[in-house]
Amino acid sequence: MKEITRRLYTKPVMLGMAFLMGIALVVGLFVTSKSTAAPNSFPVAAGNDEFETAGDGSTFHNFAGSPIPANFFGTGSLAYGGQVILQGVPLGPGSNVDTIIQRTQAVGGPGGSTPIAMTALSLQGTGPITVTYSNNTTEQWNVKVGLSDYKASGGTMTINFSTFDSTLKVWPKFTFTRVSDGLTKVYDTGGSGLTGPSASMAATDSAADMDDAVVVIEPAPLPAPCPVATVSDSRLSANMAATAAASTCAPVTLSSVNSPWGPCNPGTFCITVPITEEERWAKHRPGPKGTIKQVGAAE
């Protein structure tokens, strides 16, 4: 909170009593100004912050930073490096919430910190992307974004007197669904290059069979895309989970600085305005629960 400095100017002819009343008034203003920061909100208990994401262009992921590699969508598909505008999809009936961030520890006073974890994320593109093939044909694919099946998304939050600073490392999972026939491809940035039966199958099966098989992107020298675990349909098998190890793929690092907070109820912490978490290739600007009408929300 910024300190407010006020100066009292008086005329020589002002009566002494009026001068004293003026000082009392200024002191009262100082007390009122400082009290608006809700000092009784500490300690801040551990808990969840729930958010809703509008599809107004302020939330996006730009694949230019790490393009989807060639042949991912099918034999002959070109690398995809476009920007996808995202909007929230409710996590369940009767709710508009699409993002949940958990504060895992209590904060005793201003300047204290807590680990945080993104425990839910449900976004989708505001429209399909266009994938181009080497023969100049194109396909339309819908995009959904969730959390990785392999790596947790977490960070830290420092809660100051009336602001907070936070940093999140988010490992997103992108699910692409072809509009024409519903075929899905999953691009999980928290996965790793796989070994074993799944990798052997991907290496030996014909191109026609690859649409229904686990697809492995092998490590390649930089600046080529990092390896990720990918699968073409819903068969995210136990075999894949067992062989997934630490990813060499960098997460999306989102940072929010000096976002304001205020008391929702006496003695509670809440985020009262939309926050902006962003980095070079991605931006997420969700609003507090109950502030945004989302697509697909239950009435």
**DSSP annotation string for 129-151:** EEEEBTTS-EEEEEEEEEE-SSS
Query: Residue 191 carries which DSSP code?
Result: -
Instruction: Say yes or no: 21 and 55 in one domain.
Output: no
Domain count, the chain: 2
Instruction: Say yes or no: 97 and 170 in one domain.
Output: yes
Share of the chain above pLDDT 90, in %: 55
Least confident of 100-104, 136-140, 263-267: 263-267
Does residue 294 fall inside a structural domain? no
Does residue 297 fall inside a structural domain? no
Instruction: Say yes or no: 170 and 266 in one domain.
Output: yes
Collapsing DSSP states into helix, strand and coil, what is residue 183? coil
Query: Residue 91 carries which DSSP code?
Result: S
Instruction: Say yes or no: 32 and 60 in one domain.
Output: no
Q: What is the mean pLDDT of the chain?
A: 75
Does residue 299 fall inside a structural domain? no
Does residue 27 fall inside a structural domain? yes
Instruction: Say yes or no: 22 and 110 in one domain.
Output: no
Does residue 295 fall inside a structural domain? no
HSE-up of residue 37 (Cα within 13 Å, Cβ side): 19
Instruction: Say yes or no: 198 and 273 in one domain.
Output: yes
Looking at residue 296, its pLDDT comes to 45
Model pLDDT for residues 111-166, shown as the tens digit of each residue: 999 999 999 999 999 999 999 999 999 999 999 999 999 999 999 999 998 899 99
Model pLDDT for residues 209-250, shown as the tens digit of each residue: 434 433 333 333 323 345 555 554 443 333 333 333 344 577
Q: What is the pTM of this model?
A: 0.73
Range of the domain at 161: 42-288
Instruction: Say yes or no: 102 and 205 in one domain.
Output: yes
Does residue 293 fall inside a structural domain? no
